[in-house]
Amino acid sequence: MSAVSLPKNGREIVKLEDAWKIYQMGTEDVKALRGVNVTFEKGDFWAIMGPSGSGKSTMMNVLGCLDRLSSGAYYLDGKDVSRLDDDSLSELRLRYLGFIFQSFNLIPQLTVQRNIELPLYYLGWDAVRSAQRAKELAEQVGLGDRLGHRPTELSGGQMQRVAIARALTNDPQVIFADEPTGNLDTATGVQIMDVLVKLNEQGKTVVMVTHEPDIAAYAHRRLHMIDGNIDRIEEGTRVTAVHPAGFGPRKELGTPAVSPVEGIAAAHRDAPRAAHEA
């Protein structure tokens, strides 16, 4: 692995400058990002919205260092990462970024503890420290008593909380969440948003793709994409009453199927197209 470190400077954490992404489709060029300029600051909570094909996934993949721009610059915490090679981008993801996917991307054969520990394995942590960290994170997301369970023994909301714990192992600078409530019923989605709001209140920068206005309402700022560029940015106080009136005992409507995922390494390595479709 090449040595990549991010300098700490100022409040900007994510900055795109004249960002273009052009896919070659045979003889045709698909301009998925068309000169986007935007800055996200540390501690922000952004929702990226927009119709299908507007460039949300492309933008998320670039911001999450899963893909590179065709031209323009991407500054992550002040460092231009737009020309880094694949190994360096992988290392950035492993050390500085957290990912949460619509389909959870847990490994079905592994226990909750092992799923959470996986990034620490790649970071070279020893077993004792990793187990301790996994336990703390499981407790933080309310699953301290589920460490020995496997994903199939959990509800959808619990699986997503495991995925959140896993995303937190490296104490990420930014959490990228792609339709994090897309496979969950409304009440469970609210619980997941509670967790994301709490993390944001603890200082984590959160960038989330969603097409649900109710979910986007939890963000401080909503970026609406259209035709590969920013249509408009809405700023405003997010919903703070996270439990709607009458929110009673937990009701989870069945367990969504876990997608056949080869693991977090693969999830981090390959831009998972399907998980980004919205």
Ligand X SMILES: Nc1ncnc2c1ncn2[C@@H]1O[C@H](COP(=O)(O)OP(=O)(O)O)[C@@H](O)[C@H]1O
Only segment of 8-16, 52-60, 99-107, 173-181 that touches ligand X (CB under 6 A): 52-60
CA separation for the pair 235, 24 (Å, rounded): 35
Return the bridge partners of 74, or none: 16
When asked if residue 210 is in the footprint of ligand X (CB under 6 A), the reply is: no
The residue among 28 and 235 lying less far from ligand X, judged by its C-beta, is 28
Max distance between CA atoms of the chain, in angstroms, equals 56
When asked if residue 55 is in the footprint of ligand X (CB under 6 A), the reply is: yes
Q: Amino acid letter at 142?
A: G
When asked if residue 57 is in the footprint of ligand X (CB under 6 A), the reply is: yes
Starting at the edge strand found earlier in the chain, the sheet holding 174-178 runs 97-101, 174-178, 205-209, 45-49, 221-226, 229-235
Site pattern 234..273 for ligand X (x: CB under 6 A): ----------------------------------------
Only segment of 22-30, 88-96, 168-176, 191-199 that touches ligand X (CB under 6 A): 22-30
Partner touching 25 among ligand X, Mg ion, none, CB below 5 to 8 Å by kind: ligand X
Partner touching 204 among ligand X, Mg ion, none, CB below 5 to 8 Å by kind: none
Only segment of 54-62, 88-96, 132-140, 189-197 that touches ligand X (CB under 6 A): 54-62
Only segment of 3-11, 51-59, 129-137, 176-184 that touches ligand X (CB under 6 A): 51-59
Chain residues 58-97 in contact with ligand X, contact rule CB under 6 A = 58
CA separation for the pair 137, 104 (Å, rounded): 16
When asked if residue 142 is in the footprint of ligand X (CB under 6 A), the reply is: no
Q: For the purposes of burial, counting CB atoms within 10 Å of the CB of 53, is it exposed (0-12), middle (13-18) or buried (19 or more)?
A: middle
User: Which residues make up the interface to Mg ion (CB under 5 A)?
Assistant: 56-57, 276-278
- Report whether 135 contacts 113 (CB < 8 A): yes
Q: Measured between alpha carbons, how far is residue 97 from residues 31, 148, 187, 227 in Å?
A: 26, 26, 27, 27
Among 4, 16, 38, 54, binds ligand X (CB under 6 A): 54
- Report whether 134 contacts 126 (CB < 8 A): no
When asked if residue 278 is in the footprint of ligand X (CB under 6 A), the reply is: yes
Phi/psi-derived region of residue 223, left when phi > 0, alpha when psi is between -120 and 50, beta in every other case:
beta
When asked if residue 274 is in the footprint of ligand X (CB under 6 A), the reply is: no
**Applying CB under 6 A, which residues contact ligand X?**
23, 25, 30, 32, 50, 52-58, 276, 278
